[in-house]
Structure 1
Amino acid sequence: MSQPSQPYQQPSPYPQGSVPPGLGTPAARNGLGVASLVLGIIGALSGVIPFLFWLAGVLGLIGLILGLAGRGRARRGEATNKGVATSGVVLGSLALVLAVVGAALTFVFVGEVVKELDKATPSVSSAPGAGGGTDSGSGDAKGKALAAGDSAVYDDDLTVTVSEPVAYTPGEYAVGHTRGNKAYKVTVVIENAGKEKFDAGLTTVTARAGADGVEAESIYDDTTGTGFSGTILPGKKATAVFAFDSPAAAKALTVEVGPGILHDTSQWELKL
């Protein structure tokens, strides 16, 4: 009897025991672990730099999330860098802790700075001036305006005095005066009885007129409106004349003087 013929088998081009390309284990997905480690390092370094706590918090949170995801891939056999992902989780957590500590320290520091600025800001009290006016309180300290001739006295021994308003006629080339309105000028005196020189150039003087508080525009001509400039040495004083444009029917002029950014403003209610 004849033997049945065996089917022909084509020989394999690959060595015995080898795995053809494309049929083996897929490439490891290690990107999440690496990204977690990088973000964790940057976040931790940011956490030790003052005022960068916010960056440490953001990077630490992202690094922590990516690290946990990378560890999950490693457990499923999709990644081979479980240790790298774990390091990213640790550094991300550290960055978050540093962010919380940095935020707390920053808030404490800012609070202390604000307290020091409050201490450095001179408070204001009022005192009767040479004009014989009564003590009617500081414009900001007690909610009342000072009278003409009264003085606002600050706790750094700076004294500001505003005189009674005097009607006057602006010069031919004056700026700020409207025809039909009245013009008044006041004299402001700043006396420095403290131990440090005072920068008078930062002093502001404004005014409002009438019961409605309409802004009284400053008038500039050859005799008024130049304001204060330079510094006032201890034991010295400076005087400046200011002029304001007021509606004809106004019965009062409210003058506000702010002697620099470290001093409260004070107000004088001047009868016209």
Structure 2
Amino acid sequence: MTMPTHSPDQQPWGAPGMQPPAQPRNGLGVSALVLGIVGLLFAIIPFLFWLGGILGLLALIFGIIGASRAGKGLATNKGAAVTGLVLGALSILVSIVWTVVIATAVSDVAEEIQKSGGLPTTTASAEPGAGGTATPSADATPGALKFGETFAYDDGLKVTVSAPRAHKPDAFAAGFTKGNKAFQVTITIVNGGKEAVDVTAALPNASDANGATAEMVFDGSNATKPFEGKVLPGKQAKADFTFAMAPDAAGELQVEIAPTVLDHESAVWTGSTK
């Protein structure tokens, strides 16, 4: 009987000085895929789309990190991570579409009720904010404000949109196409009223110099980090939002946002990105 032998350069596992190969860290990629699938399912269901958006955001973050690990050789399931990332981005986009659709429908219904005399018309006025002035209007929503100006509502809420600043998205950013330009704004909501206000649904819309929709960008460096929860009386909340635009239309940005979907009209800010 011949006994197994080993060459001088080979040692069996467990021999002194030998280490077993590192185990791949695939947990985040798998989590991204599962969250992406579940998030997309919830996102397409009316009135559950908000949950799909939350799960989609988690899938996006886990997918970016998982794909990054796979690129460094620390994981072996890059396909699952990237798929989860894409599904997460789709969940977020579908949730945003639902938000816009429902907000538009509710706004139309409220307008019809107001026309019929069922509800009093809410008025708002603009006031100067740090870095600019605004034209006040007591009876109607004023025209576009300049970046840095503040829009004040009758219930004490105040909204300010900062001047745009250039942002470089990560390699796995969602909503960004190579060759486009990305700009980030900080939106501040101050609650000067007497009741807490839920600003979770305060999502801005943006357009470029040609009037085309500017895509919202998500990446692992918090290109976009939406509002969460409620703002208590006397407190404020800040959130960053990044938008991508074609180079030939990136010289000007317009941002529109309402602090709540049902109780406030949208205000508009516009200006140069330079």
TM-score range (shorter-chain normalised) is 0.5 to 0.7
Contact 2:114/2:120 (CA < 8 Å) preserved in 1? no
Question: What fraction of aligned residue pairs are identical, expressed as a percent?
Answer: 39
Letter in 2 for 1:266: A
Residues in 1 aligned to 2:176 and 2:268: alpha-carbon distance in whole angstroms: 23
- CA change 1:116–1:174 in 2 (3 A) is same
In structure 2, the residue matched to 1:166 is 165
Letter in 1 for 2:178: R
- The alignment partner of 1:118 has SS state of coil
Letter in 1 for 2:190: E
Number of residues paired by the alignment?
A: 158
For residues 41-80 of structure 1, what are the structure 2 equivalents within 5 Å?
Answer: none
Task: State the Cα deviation string for residues 133-155 of structure 1 (Å, max 9, x = none).
Answer: 121457x9355200011011000
Task: State the Cα deviation string for residues 153-201 of structure 1 (Å, max 9, x = none).
Answer: 0000000000000001001221001111100000000000100111111
In structure 1, the residue matched to 2:215 is 217
**Bigger radius of gyration:** 1
Residues in 2 aligned to 1:198 and 1:256: alpha-carbon distance in whole angstroms: 19
Flag structure 1 segments of 5+ consecutive residues without an equivalent.
Answer: 1-109
Residues in 2 aligned to 1:114 and 1:198: alpha-carbon distance in whole angstroms: 28
In structure 1, the residue matched to 2:126 is 126
Letter in 1 for 2:201: L
Contact 2:216/2:241 (CA < 8 Å) preserved in 1? yes
* TM-fit CA distance, 1:269: 0.5
In structure 2, the residue matched to 1:117 is 119
Residues in 2 aligned to 1:170 and 1:270: alpha-carbon distance in whole angstroms: 22
Residues in 1 aligned to 2:225 and 2:129: alpha-carbon distance in whole angstroms: 24
Residues in 2 aligned to 1:112 and 1:137: alpha-carbon distance in whole angstroms: 23
- CA change 1:178–1:192 in 2 (3 A) is same
In structure 2, the residue matched to 1:179 is 178
Contact 2:167/2:223 (CA < 8 Å) preserved in 1? no
- CA change 1:136–1:173 in 2 (3 A) is farther
Residues in 1 aligned to 2:208 and 2:264: alpha-carbon distance in whole angstroms: 24
Residues in 2 aligned to 1:148 and 1:111: alpha-carbon distance in whole angstroms: 33
Residues in 2 aligned to 1:214 and 1:112: alpha-carbon distance in whole angstroms: 31
- CA change 1:234–1:217 in 2 (3 A) is same
In structure 1, the residue matched to 2:42 is none
Residues in 1 aligned to 2:176 and 2:136: alpha-carbon distance in whole angstroms: 31
Task: State the Cα deviation string for residues 34-55 of structure 1 (Å, max 9, x = none).
Answer: xxxxxxxxxxxxxxxxxxxxxx
In structure 2, the residue matched to 1:263 is 264
- CA change 1:182–1:213 in 2 (3 A) is same
Letter in 2 for 1:255: V
- CA change 1:174–1:111 in 2 (3 A) is closer
Residues in 2 aligned to 1:112 and 1:208: alpha-carbon distance in whole angstroms: 29
Report the TM-score, using the length of structure 2 for normalisation: 0.53
In structure 2, the residue matched to 1:18 is none
Contact 1:201/1:229 (CA < 8 Å) preserved in 2? yes
Question: After TM superposition, what 4+ stretches of structure 1 lie above 6 angstroms from structure 2?
Answer: 110-114
Contact 2:217/2:243 (CA < 8 Å) preserved in 1? yes
- CA change 1:268–1:112 in 2 (3 A) is closer
- CA change 1:217–1:111 in 2 (3 A) is closer
2:233 is the counterpart of 1:231: no
- The alignment partner of 2:200 has SS state of helix
- CA change 1:144–1:113 in 2 (3 A) is closer
Residues in 1 aligned to 2:243 and 2:202: alpha-carbon distance in whole angstroms: 17
Contact 1:218/1:225 (CA < 8 Å) preserved in 2? yes
Letter in 2 for 1:201: T
Task: State the Cα deviation string for residues 46-99 of structure 1 (Å, max 9, x = none).
Answer: xxxxxxxxxxxxxxxxxxxxxxxxxxxxxxxxxxxxxxxxxxxxxxxxxxxxxx
- CA change 1:111–1:168 in 2 (3 A) is closer
Q: Considering only aligned residues, what root-mean-square deviation do their CA atoms show, in Å?
A: 2.3
- CA change 1:191–1:270 in 2 (3 A) is same
In structure 1, the residue matched to 2:33 is none
Flag structure 2 segments of 5+ consecutive residues without an equivalent.
Answer: 1-111
* TM-fit CA distance, 1:124: 1.8
